[in-house]
């Protein structure tokens, strides 16, 4: 310790006392860094897993998807000349047990002989897929997921019905190489040959069928050049092309959104931890004023003092960050274990340096930013203090250069958060929200302290002393209110959002939602369909609407993939959307701009569009959109904009065309059916699917159960991350109590000397912490409710209600935390006997 720059030498000597007083500092930093490092590492691992398996998931080097109709023969010819091609047809359909007693919605997949081009499909029987699907005695074979056999109450070897044909279940699917778990998967997989599906009568004009073409190019072929050539040859083919680079856009998008969200929660934990860091550094430097004064007396300039203690903070921060990184780096291993049964790809367990480096940078910057205030103040310690018996704690404002450095560090932290986020706008909003929340909590703590000061002198001495403890100089009130308040706010926000979503799914939707969606009704079957249902007692409102699918290709003549659109509207450009037409305004929506067309409209193509999406896409009345419908481009003008109530779960369409445009396009009809008594649902479903086997029934209840399952799975992850923030807040509270321990012991001793019983002293502290917890909970509930209502109303476009249970629970939790930590601290203080301490004074 005798070499190196003097600041480093002094810093190393200062660190000889070990981690005393820095445990909370380390814990706060390690926790925040661990959260960010873990989220980043798991996300990188998932992306690496998706990328590593992208060829298998895609089913080839390039995949084309078409809706409603197959690729034109000349395109298919070209594909076949380019490499190996496999054609897959996929749709939703109803499968029924051979006796007709049981039925289930299935995700049907019809495959050709070359399928699968990449990897293999495993069956539970010793046979090839081709053998399993081949016709035997005039009956086509089928393979299915085990859950379908269970639902239809059949076994391998039994028969089942699909559309108008009968199939034999030959084997169960063990692994399907190209199946990604899809949130919109409603039923189990049923796989048949392309020849078999042709006989079912399911593939009709307008039915919702997807045709996939997977291509494996010859080794050494230039994939990009081939794709460019394909797009040039068939510019209007209307297919959606996926390549290895974007094999799983839905998943990538989902992973990146969840990563962003959890990273922001991690940053909140780090922010709360930052408060702990600031309090720990302040308390540490408060104890260092004599050393600083001595060093200054011996000739140390302020700059050297600053550098020395900045180094102390940096060295300790590096230790805390390293602990956090170690925990975060192990996260992919844990995620791989936990997620293995849920994900269709393996999570590669490795150390991902990029997210770890980012987390480290966040950790170090947070530590420095939150220490600068105290570091700047310690430079102002006057050596003249050494001539006085008591050394005063730090006070006053740091000098301008330190304030500039402080602002720069916070700016850097914010910039890092914004520029590394996949959605910089959301990150910016988060930063602004955080700054506002911090300001609000600081203001609130000022109000609490002022009220405590102005409360006068209550008769109850314990209450009087508790109030005095809240506002005395050096009281930990601001730090505790800020840190615990932020932690509680995150928890309240998430709990309220979740409560509102659950209410939506559990209570509101079932009241208004139909019992069934029926899809793929052929226009000529509509009358028969209505007749069937009206013949059943208890069937309520039935609505039918024509539907065809189409995809936006251009906005005002500009290719859609080049348009700059708001992130929350980009989904509408990504895939095929349902289109309908109507002479009258649809229910559940309201024209907010422009006017609805006359019922006998007969002019150029007009469309009524969703007002929110129009804003997101930057289009309005008079602008044009070009849609690819069944392979043909169609340009329409926006005639009016509607506000749509999606929560009704009724028949809502983003695009409603004016009469005269879509009628000629081949389309099917979809229907919603309300049933008065849920016990009738099975009968309704059987009546329709028996008579019209090509029609598919989707039970809304099943879909909602699926949504609930996803919601509860996601909410566990979200709550766990939010809990990290509360743990950070609790650490800060524990730190504040530990920092005040010496004062508390002294107070307790003096009170005992003056005749206070232990019960009375306990009452003072319980009152102090109870008041602190209650007021913090009140502010956190307010801020959390505002944040949650903004998310629910503005982002999710739902109604917001305030469940009192959530708020009561928050208050209880906050008081529980503060009072129990306060009590533990007090109990230790009470254990001190007065005599030894008084002798030492």
Partner 1 sequence: MNPSSAEPIVHLKGVTLNLRSGAGEVNVLRGIDIDVAAGEAVGIVGPSGAGKSTLMMITAGLENPTAGSVRVAGTELVGLDEDTLARFRRDNVGIVFQAFRLVPTMTALENVAVPLELAGRSDAFEAAAEALDRVGLSHRVEHYPEQLSGGEQQRVAIARAVVAKPRLLLADEPTGNLDGATGEQIIDLLFGLARDDGTTLMLITHDMDLADRCGRTVKVADGRVVEDTARPHADQAAE
Of the two residues 301 and 458, which places its CB atom closer to partner 1 in the complex?
301
Taking the alpha carbons of 243, 244, 250, 254 in that order, is the dihedral positive or negative? Answer: negative
Of the two residues 17 and 246, which places its CB atom closer to partner 1 in the complex?
17
Q: Is 839 in the site for partner 1 (CB under 8 A)?
A: no
C-alpha of 368 from chain center: 30
Of the two residues 25 and 765, which places its CB atom closer to partner 1 in the complex?
25
What kind and span of H or E run contains 604?
none
Of the two residues 111 and 295, which places its CB atom closer to partner 1 in the complex?
295
Exactly one of 137, 219, 232, 389 binds partner 1 (CB under 8 A); that residue is 389
Least CB distance to partner 1 at residue 297 (A):
6
Binding mask 588-627 for partner 1 (x = CB under 8 A): ----------------------------------------
For residue 184 the two structure tokens come to: 């919109």
Radius of gyration of the chain (CA): 33
Q: Is 293 in the site for partner 1 (CB under 8 A)?
A: yes
Of the two residues 306 and 517, which places its CB atom closer to partner 1 in the complex?
306
What kind and span of H or E run contains 555?
strand 539-555
Least CB distance to partner 1 at residue 300 (A):
6
| Piece of the chain touching partner 1 by CB under 8 A; list 15-23, 74-82, 191-199, 813-821 | 15-23
| Piece of the chain touching partner 1 by CB under 8 A; list 2-10, 105-113, 167-175, 817-825 | 2-10
Of the two residues 15 and 429, which places its CB atom closer to partner 1 in the complex?
15
In whole angstroms, give the CA distance from residue 113 to residue 126. 18
Residues numbered 22 to 41 that lie near partner 1 (CB under 8 A) are none
Least CB distance to partner 1 at residue 298 (A):
5
| Binding-site size, partner 1 (CB under 8 A) | 30
For residue 671 the two structure tokens come to: 């229907």
Exactly one of 207, 291, 445, 672 binds partner 1 (CB under 8 A); that residue is 291
In whole angstroms, give the CA distance from residue 795 to residue 504. 15
Of the two residues 15 and 711, which places its CB atom closer to partner 1 in the complex?
15
Which residue shows structure tokens 């109030």? 467
Assign residue 212 a region (left: φ > 0; alpha: ψ between -120 and 50; beta: otherwise).
Answer: beta
In whole angstroms, give the CA distance from residue 512 to residue 668. 25
Q: Is 2 in the site for partner 1 (CB under 8 A)?
A: yes
Q: Is 381 in the site for partner 1 (CB under 8 A)?
A: no
Residues numbered 297 to 316 that lie near partner 1 (CB under 8 A) are 297-304
**Per-residue CA distances from 194 to 45, 135, 140, 178 (Å):** 37, 12, 10, 17
**Per-residue CA distances from 750 to 80, 463, 758, 830, 831 (Å):** 92, 17, 12, 11, 13
In degrees, rounded to 5, the angle at the alpha carbon of residue 661 between the alpha carbons of residues 658 and 665 is 130
Q: Looking at 161-248, list the stretches that DSSP marks H as alpha helix, in order from N- to C-terminal side.
A: 194-200, 223-233
Residue 113 has, within 13 A of its CA and on its CB side, a CA count of 2
Relative to beta strand 140-144, strand 165-175 is parallel
Exactly one of 198, 221, 241, 383 binds partner 1 (CB under 8 A); that residue is 383
Helix (DSSP H) and strand (DSSP E) numbers for the chain: 26, 21
| Piece of the chain touching partner 1 by CB under 8 A; list 293-301, 423-431, 443-451, 689-697 | 293-301
Question: Can you state the angle between helices 424-454 and 461-471, rounded to 10 degrees?
Answer: 140
Q: Cβ of 460: how many Cβ atoms within 10 Å?
A: 12
Exactly one of 8, 14, 130, 637 binds partner 1 (CB under 8 A); that residue is 14
Contacts of 696 (CB under 8 A, 6+ apart): 92, 93, 94, 105, 518, 519, 520, 689
Q: Cβ of 203: how many Cβ atoms within 10 Å?
A: 22
Of the two residues 384 and 713, which places its CB atom closer to partner 1 in the complex?
384
Exactly one of 23, 159, 382, 760 binds partner 1 (CB under 8 A); that residue is 382
**Is-contact 639 593, C-beta < 8 A?**
no
578 pairs with which residues across the strands?
549
Exactly one of 228, 340, 384, 835 binds partner 1 (CB under 8 A); that residue is 384
Q: Is 566 in the site for partner 1 (CB under 8 A)?
A: no
Q: Is 294 in the site for partner 1 (CB under 8 A)?
A: yes
Least CB distance to partner 1 at residue 372 (A):
20
Q: Is 396 in the site for partner 1 (CB under 8 A)?
A: no
| Piece of the chain touching partner 1 by CB under 8 A; list 9-17, 315-323, 435-443, 566-574 | 9-17
Of the two residues 200 and 283, which places its CB atom closer to partner 1 in the complex?
283
Q: Is 679 in the site for partner 1 (CB under 8 A)?
A: no
Exactly one of 6, 443, 447, 753 binds partner 1 (CB under 8 A); that residue is 6
Of the two residues 270 and 312, which places its CB atom closer to partner 1 in the complex?
312
Residues interacting with partner 1, by CB under 8 A? 1-2, 6, 9, 13-17, 290-291, 293-304, 382-384, 386-389
């Amino acid at each position: 310790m005798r070499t190196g720059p003097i600041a480093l030498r002094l810093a190393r000597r200062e660190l000889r006392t070990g981690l005393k007083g820095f445990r909370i500092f380390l814990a706060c930093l390690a926790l925040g860094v661990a959260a960010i490092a873990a989220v980043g590492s798991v996300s990188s691992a998932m992306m690496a897993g998706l990328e590593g398996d992208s060829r298998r998931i895609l089913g080839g080097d390039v995949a084309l998807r078409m809706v409603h109709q197959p690729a034109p023969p000349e395109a298919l010819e070209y594909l076949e000349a380019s490499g190996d091609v496999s054609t897959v047809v996929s749709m939703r359909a109803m499968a029924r047990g051979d006796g007709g007693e049981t039925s289930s919605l299935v995700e049907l997949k019809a495959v050709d002989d070359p399928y699968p081009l990449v990897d293999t499909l495993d069956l539970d029987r010793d046979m090839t897929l081709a053998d399993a699907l081949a016709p035997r005695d005039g009956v086509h074979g089928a393979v299915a997921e085990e859950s379908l056999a269970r639902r239809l109450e059949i076994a391998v070897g039994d028969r089942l019905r699909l559309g108008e044909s009968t199939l034999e279940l030959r084997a169960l699917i063990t692994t399907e190489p190209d199946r990604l778990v899809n949130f919109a998967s409603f039923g189990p997989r049923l796989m048949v040959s392309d020849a078999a599906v042709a006989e079912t009568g399911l593939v009709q004009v307008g039915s919702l069928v997807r045709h996939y073409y997977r291509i494996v190019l010859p080794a050494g072929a230039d994939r990009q050049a081939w794709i460019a050539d394909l797009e040039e040859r068939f510019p209007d083919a209307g297919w959606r092309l996926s390549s290895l680079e974007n094999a799983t856009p839905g998943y990538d998008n989902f992973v990146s959104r969840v990563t962003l969200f959890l990273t922001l929660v991690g940053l909140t934990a780090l922010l709360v931890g930052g408060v702990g860091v600031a309090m720990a550094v302040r308390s540490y430097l408060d104890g260092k004023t004599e050393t600083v004064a001595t060093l200054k007396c011996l000739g140390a300039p302020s700059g050297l003092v600053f550098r020395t203690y900045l180094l102390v903070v940096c060295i300790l921060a590096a230790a805390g960050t390293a602990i956090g990184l170690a925990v975060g780096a192990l996260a992919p291993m844990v995620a791989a274990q936990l997620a293995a049964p849920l994900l269709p790809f393996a999570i590669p367990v490795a150390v991902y340096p990029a997210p770890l480096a980012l987390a480290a940078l966040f950790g170090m910057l947070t530590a420095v930013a939150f220490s600068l205030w105290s570091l700047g103040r310690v430079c102002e310690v006057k050596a003249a203090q050494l001539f006085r018996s008591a050394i005063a704690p730090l006070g006053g404002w740091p000098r301008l250069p330190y304030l500039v450095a402080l602002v720069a560090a916070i700016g850097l932290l914010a910039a890092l958060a914004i520029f590394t986020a996949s959605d910089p706008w959301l990150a910016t909003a988060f930063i602004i929200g955080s700054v506002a929340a911090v300001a609000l909590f600081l203001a609130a703590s000022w109000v609490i302290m002022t009220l405590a000061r102005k409360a006068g002198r209550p008769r109850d001495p314990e209450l009087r002393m508790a109030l005095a403890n809240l506002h005395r100089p050096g009281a930990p009130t601001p730090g505790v209110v800020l840190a615990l308040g932020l932690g509680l706010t995150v928890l309240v926000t998430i709990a309220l959002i979740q409560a509102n979503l659950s209410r939506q799914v559990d209570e509101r939707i079932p009241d208004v939602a139909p019992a069934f969606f029926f899809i793929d009704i052929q226009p000529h079957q509509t009358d028969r369909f209505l007749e069937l249902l009206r013949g059943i007692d208890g069937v309520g409102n039935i609505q039918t609407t024509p539907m065809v699918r189409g995809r936006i290709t251009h906005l005002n003549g500009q290719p859609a993939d080049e348009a700059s659109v708001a992130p929350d509207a980009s989904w509408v450009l990504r895939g095929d959307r349902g289109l309908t037409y109507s002479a009258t305004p649809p229910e559940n929506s309201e024209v907010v701009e422009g006017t609805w067309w006359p019922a006998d409209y007969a002019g150029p193509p007009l469309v009524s569009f969703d007002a929110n999406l129009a804003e997101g896409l930057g289009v309005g009345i008079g602008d044009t959109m070009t849609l690819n419908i069944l392979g043909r481009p169609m340009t329409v003008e926006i005639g009016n904009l509607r506000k749509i109530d999606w929560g009704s779960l009724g028949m809502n369409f983003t695009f409603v065309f004016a009469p005269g445009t879509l009628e000629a396009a081949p389309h099917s009809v979809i229907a919603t059916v309300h049933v008065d008594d849920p016990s009738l649902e099975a009968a309704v479903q059987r009546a329709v699917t028996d008579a019209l086997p090509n029609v598919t029934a989707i039970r809304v209840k099943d879909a909602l159960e699926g949504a609930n399952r996803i919601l509860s799975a996601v909410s566990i992850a979200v709550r766990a991350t939010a809990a990290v923030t509360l743990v950070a807040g609790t650490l800060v509270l524990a730190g504040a109590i530990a920092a005040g321990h010496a004062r508390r012991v002294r107070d307790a001793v003096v009170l005992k000397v003056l005749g206070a019983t232990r019960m009375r002293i306990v009452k003072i502290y319980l009152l102090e912490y109870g008041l602190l917890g209650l007021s913090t909970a009140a502010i956190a509930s307010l801020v959390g409710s505002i944040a949650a209502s903004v998310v629910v109303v503005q982002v999710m476009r739902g109604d917001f209600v305030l469940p009192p249970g959530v708020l009561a629970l928050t208050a209880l939790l906050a008081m529980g935390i503060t009072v129990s930590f306060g009590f533990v601290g007090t109990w230790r203080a009470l254990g001190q006997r007065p005599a030894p301490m008084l002798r030492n004074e």
